[in-house]
Amino acid sequence: MSRFTRRAFLLTAGVAGALAFTGTMALAELPALAKKDKYKVGFAQTESNNPWRIAQTNSMKAEAEKNGIQLVYTDAAGSAAKQVADVNSMIAQGVDVIFLAPREEKPLIPAVMAAKKAGIPVILLDRSVDPSLAKPGEDYVTFIGSDFIAEGKRVAEWLAKNANGKSKIIELEGTTGSSPANDRKKGFDDAIKAAGGFDIVASQSGDFARDKGRQVAEALLQAHPDADIVYAHNDEMAIGAIAAIEAAGKAPGKDVLVLSIDGGKEAVQAVVDGKIAAVVECNPRFGPKAFETMMRYAKGEKIEPWVINTDKFYDSTNAKDEIADAY
Ligand code: GYE
């Protein structure tokens, strides 16, 4: 190697090394959010097949409008693959921030990482991603949402006190691989085991959907005619289960206790009517908290890794008084 080529080689190697170094540095850091007068913000919704999702979307749209923020809204219609494509399209459109409600914990990791690589901060709304694959404060800003383990635990603890001798449980799980399904199962199953005297006779996914919940409940009630409790991971499946229980000639609330999570108006009305025994609320009104968190981040504030939503609880003691507030 001549002196000249050797020098050129060292220089190039040096530049390449520095580039590689800044490359990794950039990857280790959360993208910042510049202060602007007008923001263009993405909201990647997972599906719109239930009142909870619709309430959440309405809350996001109303709050964006109130703050003069342009909202790029997409609906993945229940497909994780479409949701990844939706996020990629938001990246291509150059949005300032992406609010993402990841349908499942693992398949949405590539979307989180692609936004990060493009320098766009992501805020997870209502569902989270696998914590071993992406981290708050590093890969995304924060997760805004409820404590799903606590929600499941609250249902189990209520049941332990109010089961009145009923003990055989059918569990209707939410969307397989989603954080609320994973955690509502864990919280409930652990607490019910600790309480003792109960038996989860079957546990199967109804995909957080009313009709799927009805079909699964119908099959499980047939396979386990002695089941006297249904714990559904959301209202939609609980309402589906009520139809299945009635179709089996049984009375929900008497022969079979139904327990649920979400606290939409229809479910709280079912508590008033005695068909659902108890519901843990999962508040879908994310708009104010979502945009407030985004503005705090734009100001350079360090955001806590989890912005926790607090949930109410409905049973026969308060459902009538509080139904007006239910979404
Ligand atoms: O319970 C359910 C919805 O992710 C917390 O998803 C949310 C859940 C909610 O489809 O009804």
Distance 301 CA to ligand 1 centre (A): 29
Our answer on whether the CB atom of 104 is closer than 6 Å to any ligand 1 atom is no
What number of other Cβ atoms are within 10 A of residue 66's Cβ? 11
Our answer on whether the CB atom of 180 is closer than 6 Å to any ligand 1 atom is yes
Compute the mean pLDDT over every residue in the chain, rounded to the nearest whole number.
93
Distance 287 CA to ligand 1 centre (A): 16
Distance 50 CA to ligand 1 centre (A): 9
For residue range 193-246, list pLDDT tens digits in order: 999 999 999 999 999 999 999 999 999 999 999 999 999 999 999 999 999 999
Our answer on whether the CB atom of 213 is closer than 6 Å to any ligand 1 atom is no
Q: Provide the pLDDT for residue 71.
A: 98
Instruction: Give me the half-sphere count of Cα atoms (radius 13 Å) on the Cβ side of residue 208.
Output: 24
Percentage above 90 pLDDT, the chain: 91
For residue range 271-306, list pLDDT tens digits in order: 999 999 999 999 999 999 999 999 999 999 999 999
For residue 309, the surrounding DSSP H or E stretch is strand 306-309
For residue range 61-111, list pLDDT tens digits in order: 999 999 999 999 999 999 999 999 999 999 999 999 999 999 999 999 999
Our answer on whether the CB atom of 52 is closer than 6 Å to any ligand 1 atom is yes
Our answer on whether the CB atom of 50 is closer than 6 Å to any ligand 1 atom is yes
Q: Which atom of ligand 1 is nearest to the CA of 178?
A: 4
For residue range 33-61, list pLDDT tens digits in order: 999 999 999 999 999 999 999 999 999 99
> For residue 117, what are the contacts with CB-CB under 8 A and spacing of at least 6?
27
List the domains of the chain with CATH numbers.
3-145+284-309 (3.40.50.2300), 148-282 (3.40.50.2300)
Exposed / middle / buried, residue 28 (Cβ in 10 Å: 0-12, 13-18, 19+): exposed
In this predicted model, which residue has the larger pLDDT, 274 or 3? 274
Q: Judge whether residue 25 has pLDDT over 90.
A: no
pTM of the model: 0.90
Q: Provide the pLDDT for residue 194.
A: 98
Question: 28 falls in which pLDDT band (50, 70, 90)?
Answer: low
Distance 252 CA to ligand 1 centre (A): 23
By most ligand atoms within 8 Å of CB, the mutation choice from 124, 126, 128, 188 for ligand 1 is: 126
Q: Provide the pLDDT for residue 29.
A: 87
Distance 108 CA to ligand 1 centre (A): 16
Our answer on whether the CB atom of 282 is closer than 6 Å to any ligand 1 atom is yes
Question: 20 falls in which pLDDT band (50, 70, 90)?
Answer: very low
For residue range 107-129, list pLDDT tens digits in order: 999 999 999 999 999 999 999 99
Q: Which atom of ligand 1 is nearest to the CA of 148?
A: 5
Could you give the 3-state DSSP secondary structure of residue 63?
helix
